[in-house]
Amino acid sequence: MPGEKILVVDDDHNICELINLYLTSQGYQLFFSHDGSEALDVLKKENPDLVLLDVMLPVINGWEVCRLIRQKSQVPIIFLTARDMVEDKVQGFELGADDYLVKPFEPRELVARVKIRLKPKGQSSGTQDSLLKAGNLSIDILKYEVRINGSIVDLKPKEIQLLYFLLLNKNIVFSRELLLEKVWDYSYEGDTRTVDVHINRLREKIEKNCDACKIKTVWGVGYKMEVF
């Protein structure tokens, strides 16, 4: 039985060969695009389960490709790029990426990250509730929908995951490092600004309209979701 589909968008053919070697051995079906415009066409045709995306691409760069994908799809996106500045990582997450891996990378780490992103496919969350509520706010993590007073709030996938995690663990304080581990699955070498950016976005989009919860900063520690 064919495995999940992965679209690899990279103009470096050597990198593509390396990715193909390691991921096909895990049973995944791989599709390759070498420029941003072609990638959007393949995405529409093949409907992949995950996208590995470079930033520096011909025709349309990876930032714009990610933005265009997020207008129509919540497919997991992992940036795979040589751009290693904190600002680049933050921009990637703000555009809706689920993960960010810097070249040169260890192939086994790439395999592990891909497996984590695809693991929820067809698996239930066990004892966790897929639908959480706090007053007029509701989160359906299976549908990736957040609603306030019944209306959908426009949130990026990682913002939804962070909001869900905080609400699931309401009134518990989490450090930025622990949030990176729990929500992003990996520690980004102390790059805790990623968490701050997402918290600020959630506050802008959620708190003014939510009647029963708010995200509180616990100075010197981290953040918690207060439900009242």
Q: Kindly state whether residue 123 falls inside one of the protein's structural domains.
A: no
Task: Give the CATH number of the domain where residue 102 resides.
Answer: 3.40.50.2300
Instruction: Tally Cβ neighbours within 10 Å of residue 209.
Output: 12
Shortest CA distance to 55 belongs to which of 12, 24, 117, 105? Answer: 12
Q: Check whether residue 89 and residue 136 sit in a common domain.
A: no
Instruction: Tally Cβ neighbours within 10 Å of residue 201.
Output: 18
Q: In a structure prediction context, what are the per-residue pLDDT tens digits for the chain, which is 228 residues long?
A: 467 999 999 999 999 999 999 999 889 999 999 999 999 999 999 999 999 999 999 999 999 999 999 988 889 999 999 998 888 988 998 898 988 888 988 888 898 888 888 865 444 444 456 789 999 999 998 888 999 999 999 998 889 999 999 998 888 888 888 888 788 765 555 567 889 999 999 999 998 889 999 999 988 888 999 998
Q: Check whether residue 66 and residue 104 sit in a common domain.
A: yes
**Residue 122: per-residue pLDDT:** 41
**Residue 119: per-residue pLDDT:** 66
Range of the domain at 13: 5-118
Torsion sign across C-alpha atoms 26, 31, 35, 39:
negative
Q: Check whether residue 82 and residue 182 sit in a common domain.
A: no
Alpha carbons 71 and 62: distance in angstroms, whole number = 14
Q: Check whether residue 85 and residue 184 sit in a common domain.
A: no
**Residue 185: per-residue pLDDT:** 67
Q: Check whether residue 101 and residue 184 sit in a common domain.
A: no
Task: Give the CATH number of the domain where residue 186 resides.
Answer: 1.10.10.10
Q: For tokens 């981290």, name the residue.
A: 222
Q: Check whether residue 38 and residue 113 sit in a common domain.
A: yes
Q: Give how many domains the chain has, as a whole number.
A: 2
* Run of H or E including 21: helix 13-24
Q: What is the pTM of this model?
A: 0.60
